[in-house]
């Protein structure tokens, strides 16, 4: 029974809690058992605290007992949080040897605070490359994180630890962050569902060096689980000055309404990604997934936005390279010597961009956003591949042998960090080598619930499979 | 019957509904007054009398049928030259801009037309809205109807001068660092810079996400009526906030929650303040106690010098883009003040810019936490009285140009908080002084309600302007 509890979705777990067929302590123990079994191979955690997790689980258990008062619909569910999100009582190292190992660790970021107040059980902090700088997950601090679908492949990044844990039941829910694709890249590479909500829908603090490119989002094995997480995380916090007005959205409500009659644009290349860059298995799987939406009654049209020659890759590169240049400068020379050489190189490129280049990029970002907004005014949803490729070997900084300074290898995801639109990824098949492929589902601002609803409709006919490793207990 | 040009939009609307006045009569009166007064104040770059009369006749029919498009149906409104109006060139106070007619209305203009308001004139701005007074190479000097030797402020100075002079009760301005609130203060009006994104805008402008479109009117109620029209979604603005269906006019009458907490500060930092401005604004803040608020004197939560440096860095690096937009041989046609700003912008390094962005985020967090503690903030809108036309800034107490004459408004462009100016008295020279009211994000209705409550208790009657030259 305990092994099943670990892979069980949150919505099912809490049903068992309610009927007292399982308890948060059992679920937490099941997750810890899986951590012991799999983490040595996957290296998904930067920090683990089974004792505090069990304490939290026991407290939750009391609340689920007769007469107890649950703190939320996911009270007692084991979760993991990425090393980029501040957590009280657990170190946050940002995947970096240059950060202070001694803390203090005395404050929760908004999402961590909301999840704590909801009674969830925090198992530990998942690995990230240094300051989430690249779309794969390795760091001087904690080494290489592997993909549960194939050891030796990257889980993607930067929320790579979170997905490696999530895919094999080392936690029921995972929190990631996404500045150019860092929730969607790893979810695509490891066959999970992941949502980058509308910017600031999930509040963020302290302010990220990436400014309004930064997002916090759920990563899960089912769409309903992500909706349940959003119900907890997508609540205001005065510390985020970009925080959106509280919309009191219930993300579970209407989740099963399907996609019949919805206007969907399908764009195989978003109008700017070179077709030869897109893996043929990816293109085929995404095409097939789009057909599923047609079968489900959506009105699908193949159309790409006209970006008027603007290249989102260049715009995003200028934003993030200049920001990491600033980030790196905040460290002393000795500390800098400890940092990832790839990150330092990106910082050097950023430092030499020139101010006018960055100002131009900021204005171009607005233009792209205005174009996408007008495009989305005609459609409820937009479908694209999440990634042009599937998971590649570990110890690379980027796909296609790149050094990671150019983040352009994830063009589909980064576009929606620029525009701040909600965008999710859902698994839509495996490539010739058995590695997962992701379909990206995008909507207009504040329509996060619609993205979840579309993903749920797809999931109902194409359930999300677990990696073979998850069954080897 | 009172002269229709002295009536507010709300009053006109009531008379239209009762059939006591028609939009045609009101429009005629506005146009006649414009003919007479505009040459003195130079508030408008263009007046579309013929189209306005046609629109007024159409509105008259709708009112007669009892089917107005909105309460604003048949009320005249002027639009600042930085905002696009279909068929008009968006001149931007510049000799260099493309003078071919715009092919689409900006969102606020489109919403106002849908509400039946009559878009009848284009108001002056400083070139690209770059300074807090209103004169430009394209249009010359715009004057304050309270005293023709003084500036109406800027950059929405044409809008402010027009409304104060009775050239329509409504105007649309833009505010990238105070450009709605400064002229509202200098002209004795109520002007609102809403929460960023509350009023959709298009196309993306030179000042990026500092810029806001907002109403300038004689009363908070008129501002609320305009907000009811323009705070509606438009797919062209990716920063627009989700529709919240607020009825701003109705919210003016909402009952006060128990003793709202009001913070009051006279200085944002180490900058001079005119003694009469200080006295009138302090008096106004005290009056809030009697209106049922709990007023407390506070210190600003963030260092002023750092905030201003962040603002100036954002502002000037944006201005520098003009140098790329237009060929170098034409740069001599810019307002020398704007050209100097653009060139100053080029001297900032990337590090300066990134620091400014980081400061902006810290500043916004600090003020956000501030507004957790206080429902409203009161400050002066501007630190000085309306000063002489023809210069970008007044002289300070030391006789040197006072660069810090407008220290209150720009912070809230950086932080995106809603902020309004409401008149709180006249100086000994008979010039209006503004009270700045700021609140937490999305509390635009509370800002207008506070302005309405104050103005109701302490109204400023605007005389027939322009007054005769002294």
| ipTM entry | 0.93
Q: Are B361 and A366 a contacting pair at CB < 8 A? A: no
Angle (CA) B258-B411-B274 rounded to 5° is 85
Band (B52; pLDDT cuts 50, 70, 90): very high
A327 with A356: CB under 8 angstroms?
A: no
Best mutation target, A240, A359, A372, A450, to test chain B (most B CBs within 10 A): A359
Band (B470; pLDDT cuts 50, 70, 90): very low
B242 close to A (CB below 8 A):
yes
Q: Are A207 and B358 a contacting pair at CB < 8 A? A: yes
Best mutation target, B354, B413, B416, B443, to test chain A (most A CBs within 10 A): B354
Mean pLDDT of B229-247: 94
- Closest chain B C-alpha to A395 CA, distance in angstroms: 31
- Closest chain A C-alpha to B118 CA, distance in angstroms: 27
For residue B362, give the nearest of A207, A244, A372 by CB distance. A207
Tokens 């296609």: give the residue: A400
Q: What are phi and psi of B405, to 5 degrees?
A: -75, -20
The whole-number pLDDT of residue B445 equals: 97
Q: Is the preceding omega at residue A104 within 30 degrees of 0, hence cis?
A: yes
Asked if pLDDT for residue A347 goes beyond 80, the answer is yes
- More confident: A3 or B100: B100
CA distance B83 to B34: 21
CA distance B466 to B163: 11
Residues of B in contact with A362 (CB under 8 A): 208
Q: Is A151 exposed, middle or buried (0-12, 13-18, 19+ CB in 10 A)?
A: exposed
| Whether B427 is catalytic | no
CA distance B316 to B348: 8
CA distance B7 to B11: 6
For residue A370, give the nearest of B202, B242, B371 by CB distance. B202
Helices A312-329 & A341-351 angle (0-180, nearest 10): 110
Q: What are the CA-CA distances from residue B276 to residues A307, B212, B263, B429 (Å)?
A: 53, 29, 20, 10
Catalytic residues of A: 82, 158, 182
Per residue in B125-154, pLDDT (tens digit) is 999 999 999 999 999 999 999 999 999 999
Return mean pLDDT, chain B.
Answer: 96
Mean pLDDT of B28-55: 98
The whole-number pLDDT of residue A25 equals: 98
Residues of B in contact with A329 (CB under 8 A): 351
| Whether B428 is catalytic | no
Per residue in B273-321, pLDDT (tens digit) is 999 999 999 999 999 999 999 999 999 999 999 999 999 999 999 999 9
Per residue in A402-451, pLDDT (tens digit) is 999 999 999 999 999 999 999 999 999 999 999 999 999 999 999 999 99
Per residue in A223-277, pLDDT (tens digit) is 999 999 999 999 999 999 999 998 889 999 999 999 999 999 999 999 999 999 9
The whole-number pLDDT of residue A4 equals: 85
Structure tokens at B173: 């301005």
Band (B468; pLDDT cuts 50, 70, 90): low
For residue A241, give the nearest of B204, B235, B368 by CB distance. B368
B1 close to A (CB below 8 A):
no
CA distance A306 to A156: 29
Asked if pLDDT for residue B257 goes beyond 90, the answer is no
Band (A27; pLDDT cuts 50, 70, 90): very high
B360 with B417: CB under 8 angstroms?
A: no
Structure tokens at A315: 């715009």
The whole-number pLDDT of residue A2 equals: 47
Band (B328; pLDDT cuts 50, 70, 90): very high
Quote the longest CA-to-CA distance of chain A: 64
By DSSP bridging, strand A381-385 and strand B140-141 are unpaired
A326 close to B (CB below 8 A):
yes
B370 close to A (CB below 8 A):
no
pTM of the predicted model, to two decimals? 0.96
Residues of A in contact with B237 (CB under 8 A): 370, 373
Give alpha helix (H) positions in B200-274.
220-230, 248-251
> Closest-CA residue in chain A for B362?
A207
Mean pLDDT of B352-373: 96
CA distance A380 to A441: 10
* Beta carbon pairs, A and B, within 8 Å: 109
Task: Tell how many helices (H) and how many strands (E) occur in chain A.
Answer: 15, 13
Percent of chain A with pLDDT over 70: 99
Q: Are A211 and B369 a contacting pair at CB < 8 A? A: no
Asked if pLDDT for residue A22 goes beyond 60, the answer is yes
Residues of A in contact with B365 (CB under 8 A): 205-207, 239-241
Asked if pLDDT for residue A1 goes beyond 50, the answer is no
Per residue in A160-187, pLDDT (tens digit) is 999 999 999 999 999 999 999 999 999 9
Q: Are A241 and B416 a contacting pair at CB < 8 A? A: yes
Asked if pLDDT for residue B2 goes beyond 90, the answer is no
Per residue in B87-111, pLDDT (tens digit) is 999 999 999 999 999 999 999 999 9
Per residue in A352-389, pLDDT (tens digit) is 999 999 999 999 999 999 999 999 999 999 999 999 99
Q: Are A358 and B320 a contacting pair at CB < 8 A? A: no
Q: Are A363 and B204 a contacting pair at CB < 8 A? A: yes
A248 close to B (CB below 8 A):
no
Residues of B in contact with A369 (CB under 8 A): 238-239
């Amino acid at each position: 029974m305990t092994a099943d509890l670990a892979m069980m979705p949150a919505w099912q777990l809490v049903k068992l809690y309610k009927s007292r067929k399982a308890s948060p302590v059992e679920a937490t123990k099941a997750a810890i058992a899986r951590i012991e079994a799999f983490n040595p191979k996957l290296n998904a955690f930067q920090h683990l605290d089974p004792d505090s997790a069990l304490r939290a689980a026991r407290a939750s258990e009391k609340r689920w007992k007769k007469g107890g008062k649950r703190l939320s619909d996911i009270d007692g569910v084991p979760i993991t949080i990425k090393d980029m999100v501040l957590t009280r009582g657990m170190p946050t190292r940002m995947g970096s040897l240059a950060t202070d190992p001694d803390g203090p660790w005395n404050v929760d970021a908004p999402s961590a605070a909301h999840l704590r107040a909801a009674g969830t059980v925090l198992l530990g902090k998942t690995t990230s490359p240094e300051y989430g700088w690249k779309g794969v997950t390795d760091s001087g601090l904690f080494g290489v994180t592997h993909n549960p679908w194939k050891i030796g492949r990257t889980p993607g990044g930067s929320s790579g630890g979170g997905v490696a844990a999530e895919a094999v039941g080392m936690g029921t829910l995972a929190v990631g962050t996404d500045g150019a694709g860092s929730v969607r890249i790893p979810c695509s590479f490891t066959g999970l569902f992941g949502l980058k909500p509308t910017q600031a829908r999930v509040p963020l603090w302290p302010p990220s060096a990436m400014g309004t490119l930064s997002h916090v989002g759920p990563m899960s094995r089912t769409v309903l689980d992500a909706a349940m997480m959003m119900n907890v995380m997508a609540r205001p916090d005065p510390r985020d000055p970009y925080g959106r007005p509280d919309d009191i959205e219930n993300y579970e409500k209407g989740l099963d309404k399907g996609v019949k009659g919805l206007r969907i644009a399908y764009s195989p290349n978003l109008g700017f990604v070179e077709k030869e860059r897109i893996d043929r298995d990816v293109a085929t799987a995404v095409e097939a997934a789009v057909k599923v939406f047609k079968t489900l009654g959506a009105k699908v049209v193949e159309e790409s936005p006209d970006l008027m020659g603007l290249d989102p890759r260049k715009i995003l590169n200028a934003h993030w390279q200049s920001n990491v240049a600033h980030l790196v400068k905040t460290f002393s020379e000795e500390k800098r010597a400890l940092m990832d050489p790839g990150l330092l190189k990106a910082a050097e490129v950023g430092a030499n961009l020139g101010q006018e280049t960055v100002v131009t990029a900021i204005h171009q970002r607005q233009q792209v956003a205005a174009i996408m907004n007008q495009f989305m005014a005609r459609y409820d949803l937009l479908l694209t591949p999440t990634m042009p490729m599937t998971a590649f070997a570990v110890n690379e900084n980027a796909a296609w042998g790149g050094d990671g300074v150019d983040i352009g290898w994830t063009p589909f995801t980064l576009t929606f960090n620029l525009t701040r639109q909600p965008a999710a990824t859902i698994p839509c098949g495996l490539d010739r080598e058995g590695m997962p492929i992701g379909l990206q589902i995008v909507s207009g601002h504040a329509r996060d619930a619609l993205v979840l609803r579309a993903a749920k409709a797809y999931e109902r006919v194409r359930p999300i499979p677990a990696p073979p490793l998850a069954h080897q207990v | 019957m009172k002269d229709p040009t002295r009536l507010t939009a709300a009053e006109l609307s009531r008379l239209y509904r009762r059939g006591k006045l028609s939009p045609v009569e009101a429009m005629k009166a506005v146009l006649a007054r414009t003919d007479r007064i505009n040459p003195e104040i130079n508030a408008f770059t263009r007046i579309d009398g013929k189209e306005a009369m046609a629109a007024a006749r159409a509105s008259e029919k709708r009112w007669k049928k009892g089917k107005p498009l909105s309460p604003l149906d048949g009320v005249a409104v002027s639009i600042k030259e930085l905002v696009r109006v279909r068929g008009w060139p968006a001149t931007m106070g510049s000799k260099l801009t493309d003078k071919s007619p715009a092919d689409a209305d900006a969102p606020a203009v489109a919403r106002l037309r849908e509400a039946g308001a009559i878009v009848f004139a284009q108001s002056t701005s400083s070139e690209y809205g770059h300074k807090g007074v209103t004169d430009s190479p394209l249009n010359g000097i715009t004057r304050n109807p309270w005293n023709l030797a003084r500036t109406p402020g800027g950059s929405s100075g044409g809008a402010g001068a027009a409304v104060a002079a009775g050239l329509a009760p409504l105007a649309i301005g833009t505010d990238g660092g105070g450009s709605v609130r400064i002229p509202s203060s200098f002209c004795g009006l109520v002007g609102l810079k809403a929460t960023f994104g509350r009023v959709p805008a298009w196309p993306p402008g030179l000042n990026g996400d500092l810029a806001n479109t907002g109403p300038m009117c004689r009363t908070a109620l008129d501002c609320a009526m305009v907000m009811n029209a323009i705070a509606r979604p438009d797919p062209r603005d990716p920063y627009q906030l989700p529709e919240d269906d607020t009825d701003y006019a109705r919210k003016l009458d909402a009952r006060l929650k128990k003793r709202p907490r009001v913070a009051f500060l006279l200085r944002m930092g180490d900058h001079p303040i005119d003694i009469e401005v200080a006295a009138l604004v302090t008096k106004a803040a005290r009056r809030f106690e009697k209106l049922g608020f709990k007023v407390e004197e506070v210190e600003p939560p963030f260092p002023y010098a750092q905030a201003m440096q962040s603002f100036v860095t954002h502002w000037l690096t944006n201005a520098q883009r003009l140098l790329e937009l237009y060929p170098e041989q034409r740069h001599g046609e810019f307002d020398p003040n704007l050209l100097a700003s653009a060139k100053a912008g080029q001297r900032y390094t990337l590090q300066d810019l990134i620091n400014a962005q980081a400061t902006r985020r810290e500043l916004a967090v600090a003020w956000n936490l501030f507004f957790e503690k206080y429902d409203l903030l009161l400050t002066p809108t501007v630190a000085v009285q309306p000063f002489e036309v023809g210069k970008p800034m007044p002289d300070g107490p030391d006789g040197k140009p006072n660069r810090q004459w407008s220290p209150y408004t720009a912070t809230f462009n950086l932080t995106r908080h809603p902020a309004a100016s409401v008149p709180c008295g006249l100086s000994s020279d008979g010039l209006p002084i503004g009270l700045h009211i700021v609140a937490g994000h999305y509390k635009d209705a509370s800002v207008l309600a506070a302005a309405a409550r104050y103005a109701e208790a302490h109204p400023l009657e605007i005389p027939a302007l322009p007054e005769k030259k002294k």
